[in-house]
Structure 1
Amino acid sequence: MDRYQDLRLLPDPEFPPSVLLNALFAKLHRVLVELPEGRPGISFPGYDAAQPTLGDQLRLHGSGHVLAVLADREWLRGMRDHLDIGTIAPVPATDRSVLVRRVQAKSNPERLRRRLMRRHGLSREAALVRQPTREGERLVLPWLEVRSTSTGQRFRLFVDQQVHPGPPTAGVFSPYGLSATASLPWF
């Protein structure tokens, strides 16, 4: 991950930044599904968990080759008028890294019971004992509205971004550009 590219949303009177960021992320997800190996990671320089917002910028992190392959795929078609697209540049020296991961809430007890029944062969009554009805977990994190390319379902993808001292940790990134273990340079 020696290169990066910034994609900054331009102000638009018709669309709020969240709508444009959702559209940009949807396009990115579709192209990352086609890259089974060497997927780039993403970070959000304007991330603010207190607001909560992802900001108006998405940063791609990867090798120069992978970022060039993405640029050749024309995945930004239809978004170019809404973006300031930075050049692919070397990552500056830094002593911090960022972990950008997906967080899933366990907020639907009925779904959790069905999962228990399916995975453990439990009866409905036994699943109800193990997963009682109660108020579900509510996440207060920035999120993106996503349509899964595999199932077609729409859902909220909650994003947790944490900056840590030290160098980035190598690893694999999902088709969303996120990882539970791999971190990226933070600058």
Structure 2
Amino acid sequence: MEKLPLFLILFSLAISMAMADSNEVDEWFGNLQHAKERTTRLHFYFHDTTSGKNPSARRVAQAPSTNKSPTFFGLINMMDDPLTEGPEATSKLVGRGQGLYASSGLDELSLLMAWNVIFKSGDYNGSSLTILGRNPTTHPLREMSIVGGTGVFRMARGVVTLKTYFFNSSAGVAVVQVDVVAIHY
């Protein structure tokens, strides 16, 4: 009997899993006309660390003039930040905030953020929310848009508010309170 290469076995498995998932999504959309809209409110913290042994955000690009800019205009970071129930780093992990943020303001420190909140525990485990918007980091309260989601949050829309809980620029650490109002089916 001829042995199949491992990549072929894994590829076949991935295709069959995708087809099963696709059928489940099709079924979900088929039942959408009977679904009721729900509002979910969430509260958690993200921990963005740009220095140390294991930074959760890393600089991936910058403009030639970024280091001369008071707002770091043109700087782009990728992030994979832990999301926790409380503001302490040791608090229970609820998920990851994965995406990018870029310094987009010439006159004010403001970030363009595109990120996914991927839930890793609880009722929302395996689901995600996609968030996009402007984050003027020096403002006490910032608002961003929920532009989609997966799993429990399919077809989500809504608002995310951010409030800095702790910031230390020399240590490269920010802890940000996140409040979510998501409308979904």
Q: TM-score, normalised by structure 2?
A: 0.24
Q: TM-score, normalised by structure 1?
A: 0.24
Larger Rg: 2
More helix by share: 1
More strand by share: 2
By relative contact order (CA 8 Å, sep 6+), the higher-ranking structure is: 1
